[in-house]
């Protein structure tokens, strides 16, 4: 069986000073192409987990983890980092704790603290 998997992308970050805009973009998820040998007689049930795109939290709150294991962004005063995207995977039918193949999710966009980025001139 031929398989193409894409991991979910990470969310961009936001800033209250740039309402509705993305301060820093999240990373792309990875791509995997492979062939899996499925042997034996009779039907085989295969579990596929499709990664969820990273979630950007609202200001001063915590985001939610993405399906597939992507981490949540945790917002601080007026800035919110993006959450990581979830992995996409096909589980081993004999041992569902084990992945046969995985495409990793992308990282969430970073944030900056503008209070520490002010340049003073005299």
Read off the tokens for 88.
């996409």
Residue pair 88/102 in contact by the 8 Å Cβ criterion: yes
Confidence grade of residue 41 (pLDDT, cut at 50, 70, 90): confident
| Assigned token pair, 101 | 């193949």
First to last CA, the chain: 68
Q: Where are the domains of the chain?
A: 1-122
Q: Is 77 buried (19+), middle (13-18) or exposed (0-12) by CB count in 10 A?
A: exposed
pTM of the entire predicted model: 0.73
pLDDT tens digits for range 69-118: 777 776 666 667 788 888 999 998 888 889 999 999 998 887 765 554 45
Tell me how far CA of residue 10 lies from CA of 16, 27, 80, 116, in angstroms.
19, 5, 13, 25
Tokens, residue 91: 């589980």
The whole-number pLDDT of residue 95 equals 86
Residue where the block lists tokens 């005063």: 77
Interval 26-53 mean pLDDT: 87
Average pLDDT, integer, range 55-69: 65
- Averaged pLDDT of the chain: 77
Within a 13 Å sphere around the CA of 59, how many CA atoms are in the beta-carbon half? 10
Contact yes or no for 86/8 (Cβ under 8 A) = yes
pLDDT at 11 over 70: yes
Q: What tokens were used for 58? A: 């609202």
């Amino acid at each position: 069986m031929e398989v193409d998997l894409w991991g979910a992308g990470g969310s961009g970050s936001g800033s209250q000073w740039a309402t509705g805009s993305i301060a820093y973009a999240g990373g792309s998820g990875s791509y995997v192409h492979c062939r899996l040998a499925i042997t034996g007689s009779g039907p085989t049930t295969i579990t596929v987990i499709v990664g969820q795109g990273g979630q950007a939290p609202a200001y001063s709150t915590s985001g939610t983890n993405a399906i597939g294991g992507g981490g949540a962004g945790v917002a601080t005063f007026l800035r919110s980092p993006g959450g990581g995207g979830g992995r996409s995977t096909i589980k081993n039918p004999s041992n569902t704790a084990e992945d046969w193949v995985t495409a990793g999710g992308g990282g969430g966009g970073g944030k900056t603290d503008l209070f520490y980025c002010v340049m003073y001139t005299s």
